[in-house]
A = this chain, B = another copy of it.
Amino acid sequence: MIPLTPAGPVTWPEGKRCAVAFTFDVDAESPLLTTDPAFADRMGAMSHQAYGPLVGVPRLLSILDELQVPATFFVPGYTAHRHPEPIRSIAAAGHEIAHHGYLHESLVGVDEQTEREILDRGLRALQEVVGVTPVGYRAPMWEMNWHTPKLLAEFGFLYDSTLMDSDHPYELAVDDQSALVELPVSWALDDWQQYCFVPDFSGTGLIETPAKAIELWRAELDAMRDVGGAWILTNHPFLSGRPGRAAALREFIAEVCAMDDVWVAGMAEIAGYVREQALTPRTLTRPELNIPAEP
């Protein structure tokens, strides 16, 4: 067995120390419906999720426009079908739209062919509704299979943003011929853990203040500036689009933009910059439970 090797350092443009991406997962109704289609009957829960595209997205776009920050929106195909105008407005504002499944389907235990169909369905929805072919992918719930990278390469994706084993982006080996740029994420850089409560679906009722969430994210960013990696924040419009949270996020984005050692960019732009560095791809392997000792 070949031991895993950690990702190496990368460089950033113009001597910046750290890349920053503000990303938004526009889940809307999809995570609930994929868990149990009967959630469609719950008018209250559906309205809670619809807040994301209907109110959160316009508010967040307005903040991004005011601060002139490019962002990346991961959009399940189903969200594009149900909420076409908000999703088109994201593209119209010049932000990147990336793939996030069709109905936010969990990939746990999903076979290759089914997963291929989900990828295709999501791509077609974004093509139909927004006319874009995304170059980036993020697996729902940040969970995917060992065959997923091969499928992503088949579909021509440039990058994935699902894994958590590095502070630095890297080239993820798919096979001898191809690789994906991996832009890694972290549970600590996600608003879901701070804010999400939907009865019978997610959360225990814990709802933190925006100040606490920002304090957590700032601590990680300050340290990432020394580390030199990519700090990728994930927010959900149905959560961080609420007035108090959006206001706190706006202040924080402004603070980050004023850091002169930080490169704020869209995910595709970051992935493209990493790709140009022609890094040696890392091979990740499924853990075996009966490992022979190394020679």
Tell me the A residues contacting B by CB distance below 8 Å. 1, 3-7, 29, 33, 37-38, 40-48, 50-51, 54-55, 58, 78, 81-85, 103, 108-109, 128-129, 139, 141-146, 148, 162-167, 184, 186-188, 192-200, 202-212, 215-216, 219-224, 226-227, 229, 242-248, 284, 286-289, 291, 293-294
B7, B209, B244: which contacts A222 (Cβ < 8 A)? Answer: B244
Whether B84 lies near A3 (C-beta < 8 A) is yes
For residue A64, give the distance in angstroms from its CB to the closest CB of chain B.
17
**By the criterion CB–CB under 8 Å, are A40 and B289 in contact?**
yes
Q: How far is the CA of A236 from the CA of B254 in the complex (A)?
A: 33
A84 / chain B contacts, CB cutoff of 8 Å: 3, 294
- The CA-CA distance from A209 to B189 in the complex, in Å, is 11
A-B contacts, 6 of them at CB < 8 A, read A5-B54, A41-B109, A44-B162, A47-B164, A54-B166, A193-B206
CA distance A1 to B78 in the complex (A): 13
Of B165, B194, B293, the residue contacting A47 (CB under 8 A) is B165
Cβ of B55 and Cβ of A167 under 8 Å apart?
yes
Complex Cα spacing A50 to B244, Å? 33
| B220 with A242: CB separation less than 8 A | yes
Query: How far, in whole Å, are A5 and B246 apart by their CA atoms in the complex?
Result: 21
B3 touches A83 (CB 8 A): yes
- Report copies per complex: 4
**Which residues of B are found within 8 Å of A139, using beta-carbon distances?**
44
Please report the C-alpha to C-alpha distance between residue A139 and residue B249 in the assembled complex, in whole angstroms: 31
- 4 closest residue pairs by CB, A with B: A223-B243, A219-B244, A220-B244, A47-B165
Cross-interface CB contact of A215 among B209, B229, B246, cutoff 8 Å: B209
A291–B80 alpha-carbon span in the complex (Å): 10
List chain B residues, Cβ under 8 A from A243: 167, 220, 223-224, 226-227, 229
Q: Is the CB of B42 within 8 A of A143?
A: yes
The residue that A33 contacts in the complex, of B51, B245, B289, with Cβ under 8 A, is B289
* Bound-state Cα–Cα, A46 to B11, Å: 27
Contact of A43 among B146, B196, B203 (CB under 8 A): B146
Once the chains bind, are B206 and A55 in contact (CB under 8 Å)? no
Q: Which residues does chain B contribute within 8 Å of A50, judged by CB atoms?
A: 4, 165, 284
- Given A187-B207, A205-B203, also A165-B219 (CB < 8 A): no
